[in-house]
Amino acid sequence: MPKLIVVNGPPGVGKTTVCRDLYRRLDGVVWLDGDWCWLMHPWDFSAKNKEMVFENIVFLLRNYLLNGSFGYIVFCWVIPDEAIIRRILGRLTGTEYALLRVTLTCSEEALRARMRQDGRDDAGIHRSIALLPRYQDMDTRQIDTTGLTAGEAVDRIMVMLGE
């Protein structure tokens, strides 16, 4: 049975970096970053596009799970609300998988520093910091990445997977 590993957290916390490292460490793995489904120019956060992105994510996750070639499906996305992940998982009925949900968090100071290092603007930094409290009570395994390297965060995920 494949393992679906959902990694969420605010923008700038390190989801892509951690998932890229996790992807490289596992065998029989496919990786979907939800942000890839939003790569459009100009960026249009309309209701029509939000629904399209959601449908594309569900379509890809379902096909990866049903393929049979993958032991691991790594999916990362911001997902600041339990309703979003429940909606995604609810659409995966008829598929068998073991689920691991991991939230990456960090201190405001670390988030600000990481986002500045990535060249993000002040408005984006403030939006991301404002999202931090929304992740505290999620039904996930939490990893505070404040003092961790990406590799150390992956080590913790590997332990959670029993690897």
Nearest of 6, 18, 4 to residue 144 by alpha carbon: 18
pLDDT in tens, 68-103: 999 999 999 999 999 999 999 999 999 999 999 999
Query: Would you list the domain boundaries of the chain?
Result: 3-148
pLDDT in tens, 105-132: 999 999 999 999 988 989 999 999 999 9
Class at the top of the CATH hierarchy for domain 3-148: alpha beta
Task: Specify the DSSP class assigned to residue 76.
Answer: E
Q: Is 0.75 surpassed by the pTM of this model?
A: yes
Question: CA 101 → CA 50, 95, 130, distances in Å?
Answer: 22, 17, 22
Q: Where are the beta strands (DSSP E) in 3-162?
A: 3-8, 29-33, 72-77, 98-105, 141-144
